[in-house]
Amino acid sequence: MEVILKEDVEKLGSRGDVVKVADGYGRNFLLPRRLAIQATAANKAVIEQMKSASVRRYAKEKSQAEELATQVNAVALTFTRLAGEGDHLFGSVTSSDISAELDKLGFTAVDRRKIQLPEPLKSIGEYTVPIRLHRDVTAHIKVTVAKEAGADAAAPDQAKAE
């Protein structure tokens, strides 16, 4: 039996592939779970149209991501935070903070989940943060974390006695 896969199936093939399988495997597993459809001439034509549309959409998304990457690469963000001894921050700079600043600059297409920050920034310095805009396109922004002006080494929740 020949079937056209609608989803990736491990050890069988990927989406859109026409594969030959045993009759029982196709009838009892692939077709009821909607992982595949029978390979008829009409279904093959539909799958080819879907593949060509997918290729066009992929190319369009990639070109848009490349344009956005050139704009984002020119961005430099600066965050000022309270810091204690050894330039260790009280708190941190997270991907949500970076996303909020990019939103203020007009980059609404950059979601916090696209920012590839392995862990929050917890010390003063300059960092290069990758942003994955597309499967094949990654932009890099410069993030500077600076010490807040006039901040002493006291914890922020301690009140000064006069």
pLDDT digit string (tens) for 68-92? 999 999 999 999 999 888 888 888 9
29, part of any domain? yes
pLDDT band of 160, cuts 50, 70, 90: very low
Residue 157 has pLDDT above 60, yes or no: no
Q: What is the CATH number of the domain that holds 80?
A: 3.10.430.100
User: What range does the domain containing 32 cover?
Assistant: 2-60
pTM more than 0.75 = no
Burial class, 86, CB count within 10 angstroms (exposed 0-12 / middle 13-18 / buried 19+)? exposed
Give first-to-last CA distance, the chain, whole Å.
87
pLDDT band of 159, cuts 50, 70, 90: very low
pLDDT, position 162: 41
Q: Could you tell me if 80 and 137 lie in one domain?
A: yes
Partners of residue 147 on adjacent β-strands = 81
3-state helix vs strand vs coil in the chain, percent to 5: 35, 30, 35
pLDDT, position 143: 94
- Decide which of 44, 60, 76 is a domain's last residue: 60
22, part of any domain? yes
- Tell me the percentage of the chain whose pLDDT exceeds 90: 56
pLDDT digit string (tens) for 27-46? 999 999 999 999 998 988 88
Q: Could you tell me if 73 and 142 lie in one domain?
A: yes
On the CB side of 4, how many CA atoms lie within 13 Å of its CA? Answer: 15
pLDDT, position 152: 53
Q: Are 19 and 3 in contact (CB under 8 A)?
A: yes
